[in-house]
Amino acid sequence: MVILFEKSIQIIKQHQSETGAYLASKNFPTYQYCWLRDGSYIAHAMDIAGEYESASAFFCWVGRTIQRFSYKVDEARFRMAEGLPMGKDDLLHTRFTMDGEEVYVDDTWGNFQIDGYGTWLWALNEHIKKSGEIDILQKLKEPIEITVRYLELVWKLPNYDCWEEHPEFLHTYSLSTVYAGFHAAGELAHSGGFSHKNILVDNLADEVRKFILDFAVKDGRLVKYFCPPDTKSDTQLVGNNGVDASLMAVAIPYQMFMPDDPIILATIKAIEEELHRHGGGVYRYMDDVYYGGGEWILLTAWLGWYYTSLNQVDKAQALCEWIESQADENGWLAEQVSDYVLYPEYYAPWAKKWGPIAKPLTWSHAMYIILMKALNKG
């Protein structure tokens, strides 16, 4: 639906601050920030839609923000080398204010999430390939290097996943972003003519991939998370089978394994069987209680995006139509749809705590744009 496509671009523009940051959702008090994760996909969607200036402003904002907090990377290196404990805020945060300041409103909110740092490198590399804006590398050379040094340091540390949960584990989704980030950094180094000062990014990418093969594949498919290998405890898998819809990203867009790799095919089959409501949308994971655990627009678009990579256009088209049917009279897409929640009793407590579900959610609109373009529409 071309109207919703254009509306999505407009909504994203309305959510972009003049600093370049993208607000997650204007109407949802808890999401008045810019997440590196959401923002990088939004920038990617804007790139795909030909809105290069918007994406470029975001990447420059990320660059300035990372530079501001780069001292944390050196301090963390020191602490780790000395075996000193790491505090909750000693590592780089996952969300920032529009001015690139850290957010300290809720002590229970986990700040240490590595995935956004991999995702921004990936999205930046894609931006340069699409827009041809190679000059941006002059501005972003330092933040790219800081990010690479940071990821090299922390990628094997347990951290919060992309749903901001389970800080005790390592997460397959997050590691796939790190893989893609190292890979992108390698390509950027070639195109930008700068070096990563002895950091062999391609080797690091290979190492992450091997790590996933060694620890994140069970019964021939990927699992959502696992214990750090040296802790030797047995991980209780989520929903007892470890399926999480975010695992789609390992193939699309990060290509740590190709979309038709048997490991991916088996993972997608599990996602289809357990997390895709027939004729509807996609849940995050079986134990999800956030607002009762509804169907997520962005994950539904993601599954469609995956299908397009295998040329399964009809399946992708059906998901696209379902998303379109969820837009409200303003053309707004929510974070999740609550008609068939997994745990209805959990809806009210969340609504009481944080208000109605976030809408419009810019990340939902971004993934819709990506799906539309993957279907050659829009």
Output b/e per residue, 327-353; b: 16+ Cβ within 10 A.
Answer: beeebbbbbbbbeebbeeebbeeeeee
Distance of alpha carbon 39 from its chain centroid, rounded?
Answer: 9
Query: Which residue in this structure is represented by tokens 């047995």?
Result: 234
Phi-psi region of 232 (alpha: psi -120 to 50; beta: other; left: phi over 0): left
Nearest Cα neighbor of 212 from 274, 267, 272 is 267
Residue 163 as a binder of ligand BGC (CB under 6 A): the answer is yes
162 binds ligand BGC (CB under 6 A): yes
Shortest approach of ligand BGC to residue 147 CB, angstroms?
18
- Helix, coil or strand: residue 22: strand
| CA–CA gap between residue 58 and residue 36 (Å, rounded) | 10
Binding residues with ligand BGC: total (CB under 6 A): 9
Please report how close the Cβ of residue 238 comes to ligand BGC at its closest, in angstroms.
14
Interface residue with ligand BGC among 102, 142, 164, 324 (CB under 6 A) is 164
Site track 272-301 with ligand BGC (rule: CB under 6 A), x = hit = ------------------------------
Quote the CA–CA distance of 158 and 74 in Å, as a whole number.
19
Q: Please say which residue, 24 or 180, places its beta carbon nearer to ligand BGC.
A: 24
Binding mask 171-190 for ligand BGC (x = CB under 6 A): --------------------
CB of 357 to ligand BGC, least distance (A): 10
- Nearest CA to 196 among 155, 130, 151, 236? 151
* 332 near ligand BGC (CB under 6 A): no
Closest distance to ligand BGC from the beta carbon of 28 (Å):
9
| Token pair 């009793």 in the structure block, residue | 345
Pairwise CA distance, residues 168 & 161, whole Å: 10
The one segment of 15-23, 120-128, 158-166, 207-215 that binds ligand BGC by CB under 6 A: 158-166
Q: In whole angstroms, give the CA distance from residue 231 to residue 229.
A: 6
**Separation CA 321–CA 343 (nearest Å):** 25
DSSP string, 98-123: TTS-B--S-TTS-----HHHHHHHHH
Instruction: Give the per-residue contact string, 15-44, with ligand BGC (x = CB under 6 A; - = no).
Output: ---------x------x---x-xx------
Q: Which is nearer to ligand BGC, 8 or 188 (CB)?
A: 8
225 forms part of the interface with ligand BGC (CB under 6 A): no
Residue 149 or 171: the one with the smaller Cβ distance to ligand BGC is: 171
Q: Least distance to ligand BGC from the beta carbon of 70, Å?
A: 23
Identity of the residue, 38 or 47, whose beta carbon is nearer to ligand BGC in the bound complex: 38
Least distance (Å) from ligand BGC to the CB of residue 36? 9
If the CB atoms of residues 188 and 298 are measured against ligand BGC, the closer one turns out to be 298
Catalytic residues: 161, 164, 335
Does 347 contact ligand BGC by CB under 6 A? no
Distance CA 14, CA 368 (A): 17
Considering the complex, state which of residue 148 and residue 162 has its C-beta at the smaller distance from ligand BGC: 162
Nearer to ligand BGC, 189 or 238 (CB): 238
Q: Position of tokens 């509306």? A: 7
Q: Report which of 24, 30, 20, 1 is spatially closest to residue 11, judged by C-alpha positions.
A: 24
Q: Output 170 or 367, the one with its CB closest to ligand BGC.
A: 367
HEC letters along 67-93: HHCCHHHHHHHHHHHHCCCCCCCCCCC
**Interface with ligand BGC by CB under 6 A: which range of 1-9, 152-160, 162-170, 221-229?**
162-170
Residue from 332, 363, 372, 373 binding ligand BGC (CB under 6 A):
363
Please say whether the beta carbons of 244 and 299 come within 8 A.
no
- List of residues contacting ligand BGC (CB under 6 A): 24, 31, 35, 37-38, 162-164, 363
